[in-house]
Amino acid sequence: MELTVVSLGRDRHRITVRGHEVIVDQPRDSGGEDAGPTPTDLFVASLASCVAHYARRGLGSGGEGPTVRCTWTMSETPPWRVASIAIEVQLPPATTEARQEAVRRAIGHCTVHNSLQSPPAISIRAAVAPSEAQSTPFAAVS
């Protein structure tokens, strides 16, 4: 799997994944133009929307779906990060006890939550893009 992030100037970037595009930016009070959610917003949104996806599956194919509300706090000291996330899954009023249990089981399969519980190995490398004359994909910066 792969996605690409391209700078559009200042704090704005375009994410392209599977033919979809998302613009990320920073709020105006942080120097951005507020042209889209921040990367941190998307991080938290990916968790909340994954929970919503699995909750919907737990409810079955017919009827009303869940509403997921999410709040988060940022750390007050470095390293800057999301410090806490609270997710509330609101199920339709007529949801039976059996369906509630099915939703709880289904939410346990949330890929994003599971990825946070057992974090993936992450490798980040900065390199200079090759000129047309270079044959190697990237020349490492020393």
Whole-angstrom distance, CA of residue 81 vs CA of residue 112? 17
Residue 106: what are its φ and ψ, rounded to 5°?
-65, -40
Band of pLDDT at residue 54, cut at 50, 70 and 90: very high
Average pLDDT over residues 16-30: 97
70 token code pair: 């999410």
HSE toward the beta carbon, residue 74, CA cutoff 13 A: 9
**Is the pLDDT assigned to residue 66 strictly greater than 80?**
yes
Whole-angstrom distance, CA of residue 4 vs CA of residue 8? 13
Which residue has tokens 């004359």? 133
| Domain 39-119 CATH assignment equals 3.30.300.20 | yes
- Decide which of 67 and 134 is more confident: 67
What does the pLDDT read at residue 138?
Answer: 58
User: What are the extents of the domains in the chain?
Assistant: 1-36, 39-119
pLDDT tens profile 69-124:
999 999 999 999 999 999 999 999 999 999 999 999 999 999 999 999 999 999 99
What does the pLDDT read at residue 84?
Answer: 98
- Decide which of 141 and 105 is more confident: 105
